[in-house]
């Protein structure tokens, strides 16, 4: 039997615990509990997500800020109905609901402060997008204008799709396509980025 306190203390990976993914401004303000229907499945997918995608980000850029993590079906549906920046529950690219038995996905909206500072000074979001493509087996990423936040999703069979609400808006890379830019051109975009997983953590 899970308690909410016990669930929050579950370590998902080297750098992440479940508690930071359960916090929701929408849930707090509207008094909607953000509790998984299937905690075991949520943890299983959350561990795959964090160890595969978020740990390497933290070990490369330092602090990763989670803006929006797990959402229960009830919370996400409420957010969608009230136009609170939540996709509908059955949207194929929805990544915040981690415990749907037939939809193997886990994701979150995150900010990388290291890049956000450079983005605010005019850095192209596509520099980070192509770095992600060349280094991490994400399924989808979707960029947003504020702080260059992005949704990043894990799936057991990654789709490798990139979209953005930042100009140039739209789909940068469709699932199954090859990048238009060559690897050499992509690498030149992020030549000044920190070394992949180059930060030492005790």
Across the strands, what pairs with 142? 151, 163
Tally of structural domains, the chain = 1
Q: Can you give the pLDDT of all 202 residues of the chain as single tens digits? A: 467 778 889 999 999 999 999 999 888 889 998 999 999 999 999 999 999 999 999 999 999 999 999 999 999 999 999 988 889 989 888 999 999 999 999 999 999 999 999 999 999 999 999 999 999 999 999 999 999 999 999 999 999 999 999 999 999 999 999 999 999 999 999 999 999 999 987 7
d(C-alpha 7, C-alpha 139), whole Å: 26
- Give domain status of residue 168, yes or no: yes
> Residue 163 belongs to what H/E stretch?
strand 161-164
- Give domain status of residue 195, yes or no: no
Structure tokens at 127: 């520099």
d(C-alpha 173, C-alpha 170), whole Å: 9
* Burial of residue 140, with CB atoms counted within 10 A of its CB: 0-12 exposed, 13-18 middle, 19 or more buried: buried
- Give domain status of residue 154, yes or no: yes
- Give domain status of residue 136, yes or no: yes
Across the strands, what pairs with 106? 154
Residue 149 maps to which CATH number?
Answer: 3.30.1380.10
Instruction: Give residue 90's domain range.
Output: 4-189
């Amino acid at each position: 039997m899970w308690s909410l306190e016990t669930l929050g203390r579950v370590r998902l990976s080297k750098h992440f615990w479940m508690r930071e993914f359960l916090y929701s401004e929408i849930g707090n303000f509207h008094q909607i509990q953000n509790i998984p229907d299937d905690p075991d499945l949520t943890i299983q997918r959350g561990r795959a997500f964090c160890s595969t995608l978020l740990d390497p980000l933290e070990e490369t850029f330092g602090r990763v800020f989670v803006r929006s993590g797990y959402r229960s079906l009830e919370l996400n549906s409420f957010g969608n109905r009230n136009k609170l920046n939540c996709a509908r529950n059955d949207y194929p690219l929805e990544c915040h609901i981690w415990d749907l038995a037939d939809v193997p996905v886990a994701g979150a909206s995150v900010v990388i402060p290291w890049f956000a500072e450079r983005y605010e000074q005019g850095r192209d979001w596509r520099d980070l997008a192509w770095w992600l493509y060349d280094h991490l087996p994400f399924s989808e990423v979707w960029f947003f204008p504020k702080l260059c936040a992005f949704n990043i999703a894990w799936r057991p069979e990654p789709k490798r799709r990139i979209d953005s609400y930042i100009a140039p808006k739209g789909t940068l890379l469709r699932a199954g396509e090859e990048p238009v830019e060559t690897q050499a051109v992509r690498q030149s975009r992020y030549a000044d980025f920190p070394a992949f997983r180059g930060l030492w953590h005790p």
